[in-house]
Each structure stands twice: as C-alpha cells, then as structure tokens.
C-alpha cells in the first residue's frame, strides 16, 4: 500500500510574541510552557479551534494513520485533541504517536541572528504524553535563517522523506500540522507549482483550516541523497515545473474552515521580505507573525460575532 492522501493544517490562534529586528531578541507577555519566548502556546480561542478541528479530523476518509507536526508547542497543542480521540479506536500504536518533524517547522527568514529552535524531544515528551521522543527529524532548518527559496526546498525534502516513510509503513493518509509560510511551501512543493511572484495567494493557511492533497502517481520513485546534518546543503528534490514531490499531488480542498464556528481567520501570505525589517512608523519590536508577511482575513462566520 502507498500513501494516497496528505491532510495539512495550520496551528490555531496563538499567544502573541514579538521580535526586536536589530538584536533578534524575542519576547512575549505570556510565558511559554517550554520556556522559549518564540514558542508560544495557543490562546484560549485557539484551544477552542483545536477541539473543533479534532471533531472534523475524526470524520475524514481515508482516516489519518500518522500524525506529523512542527515541533513548536502551538502545533503539537493543536493536534493533541485529535490524536487523543483517534487513539481510542486505533489498532496501530504508531497512529497514537505525535512525530515532531523540524522539516515542516516555522520559517524565520534570513535572520541576522540565530534562528529560533523548538524545545528538545525530552522536554516535549514531558509536556505531551503522546509525543514520540524517539522519532528523528528528516531535516532541520539552518540556525542562520533561510531565504524563501530555501524554505521551499527544505520543505520539499522533508515531504519527500515523509512520503517515502509512509510508503514503507503502508499507510494511506497522514496529517501534517505546521505554520502559515510552511503550509504555503508544502502546497507548492506537492503540486509542483512555484509562482513567479512568491506573494501570490495560491494556498490558504487559515488557522486550523484543512487542505487535502491527493496523490497523482503512486509509482513514481526518485532517489534523493540523505541530508548530512546541520548547516549542510539541502539535498535537491526535483519538484518545480509541475513535477511535485513523490509523484505530484492535486489539491482537492484548500484551507477548508467550514467546520470552524469562526470560519476563515488570520490567513497569511508572503510579502516578499526575507528578513525582519522595522518599517517607518513602527516601534522597535515587530509582531513575529506578520513581520515577514501579510495577514489576510477570510470569510468569518456570522454565527460567531465575537470574532467579527
């Protein structure tokens, strides 16, 4: 059996955090459970979204057999309710685990300072019982930061390995929980479409929305060299020009939020900037969620007026 479907979601509403663009100092008014300022937990509303997401994920067909996530706290927290619910009836113990994959982690641009890293697997295991601390990430972002192209290539390589692993394990469907920029990169790497203007709104990374990708060619097998470790070159995956990773994928649902009481919220797109730069009239600290892109509000639900 080969992998047939990849579901992709973005974490829910999170607590705020900011970065000082000159020094690279990250700060937050609400302490993170991991003790890392750039690793905030979900806000109360985000927790509500995660439970609505869980209810929806339990209805998907084919059902989710593996859970992969960015190892930042807000992503693990977002999918934890779904993992707990699905684990109650899962026959495969691997379905009950959360695999933290740095290759689908956050993008911080071309930072002139160290790229923030998530907590260690040991710390995350203490915070989330179902976190698989034995899982080894396929690739990790450079601590020196990444260009937009490097983000896409890092993501493509991680996807290549996750698809290979899923084919070996004989699962039909997996879920990936990630961040806005990385979700867009995932969509482009799977479909093989890289727009000339990286700021194009081609995929829809609303909080807790779900995008569905269906595989075109399950027989495609491509040999790619293994990643050699931190600060080494990203192995090349031929995904551009319509090729797509792992045989190419068709998107059948893009950022579906029909199951969320608040509808489409806090979307995002690239602005073209690759580093945090303070703009005229702004204070010394930038909101890290919008410092490298543009926040887009979608169609919010009128049934939740508190979010309008």
Q: How far is CA 83 from CA 97, 99, 120, in A?
A: 7, 11, 20
Lowest average pLDDT, out of 26-30, 48-52, 175-179, 264-268, goes to 26-30
Give residue 147's region: left, alpha or beta (phi > 0; psi -120 to 50). beta
Q: How far is CA 79 from CA 50, 53, 121, 181, 253, in A?
A: 7, 8, 17, 18, 19
DSSP designation for 247:
G
Q: What is the pLDDT of residue 305?
A: 45
Q: Which domains does the chain have, with CATH numbers?
A: 5-296 (3.40.50.1240)
DSSP designation for 271:
-
Strands 210-215 and 286-287: unpaired
Query: Rounded CA gap, 176 and 186, in Å?
Result: 10
With a cut of 60, say whether residue 63 has pLDDT above it: yes
Q: What is the mean pLDDT of the chain?
A: 91
φ, ψ at 249 (rounded to 5°): -140, 150
Q: Band of the pLDDT at 197, cuts 50, 70, 90?
A: very high
The pLDDT tens digits of the residues spanning 102-131 come to 999 999 888 666 778 999 999 999 999 999
Q: What is the pLDDT of residue 301?
A: 66
Query: Rounded CA gap, 225 and 161, in Å?
Result: 10
With a cut of 60, say whether residue 280 has pLDDT above it: no
């Amino acid at each position: 059996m080969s992998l047939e479907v990849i579901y992709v979601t973005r974490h829910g509403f999170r607590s705020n955090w900011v970065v000082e663009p000159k020094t690279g100092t990250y700060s937050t008014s609400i302490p993170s459970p991991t003790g890392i300022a750039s690793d905030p937990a979900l806000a109360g509303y985000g927790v509500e979204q995660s439970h609505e997401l869980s209810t929806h994920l339990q209805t998907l067909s084919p059902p989710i057999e593996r859970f992969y996530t960015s190892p930042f706290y807000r992503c693990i927290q977002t999918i934890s309710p779904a993992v707990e619910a699905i684990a109650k009836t899962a026959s495969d113990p691997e379905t009950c685990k959360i695999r933290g994959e740095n290759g689908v982690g956050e993008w911080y641009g071309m930072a002139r300072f160290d790229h923030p890293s998530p907590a260690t697997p040991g710390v995350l295991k203490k915070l989330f019982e179902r976190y698989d601390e034995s899982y080894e990430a396929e690739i990790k972002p450079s601590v020196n930061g990444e260009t937009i192209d490097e983000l896409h290539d890092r993501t493509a390589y991680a996807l290549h390995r996750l698809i290979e692993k899923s084919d070996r394990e004989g699962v039909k469907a997996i879920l990936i929980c990630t961040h806005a920029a990385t979700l867009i990169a995932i969509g482009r790497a799977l479909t093989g479409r890289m727009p000339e203007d990286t700021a194009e709104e081609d995929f829809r990374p609303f909080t807790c929305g779900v995008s569905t990708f269906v595989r075109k060619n399950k027989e495609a097998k491509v040999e790619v060299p293994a990643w050699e470790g931190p600060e080494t070159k990203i192995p090349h995956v031929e995904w551009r020009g319509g090729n797509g990773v792992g045989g190419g994928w068709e998107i059948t649902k893009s950022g579906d939020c029909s199951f969320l009481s608040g509808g489409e919220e806090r979307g995002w797109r690239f602005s073209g900037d690759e580093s945090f730069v303070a703009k005229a009239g702004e204070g010394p600290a930038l909101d890290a969620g919008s410092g490298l892109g543009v926040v887009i509000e979608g169609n919010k639900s009128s049934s939740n007026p508190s979010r309008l």
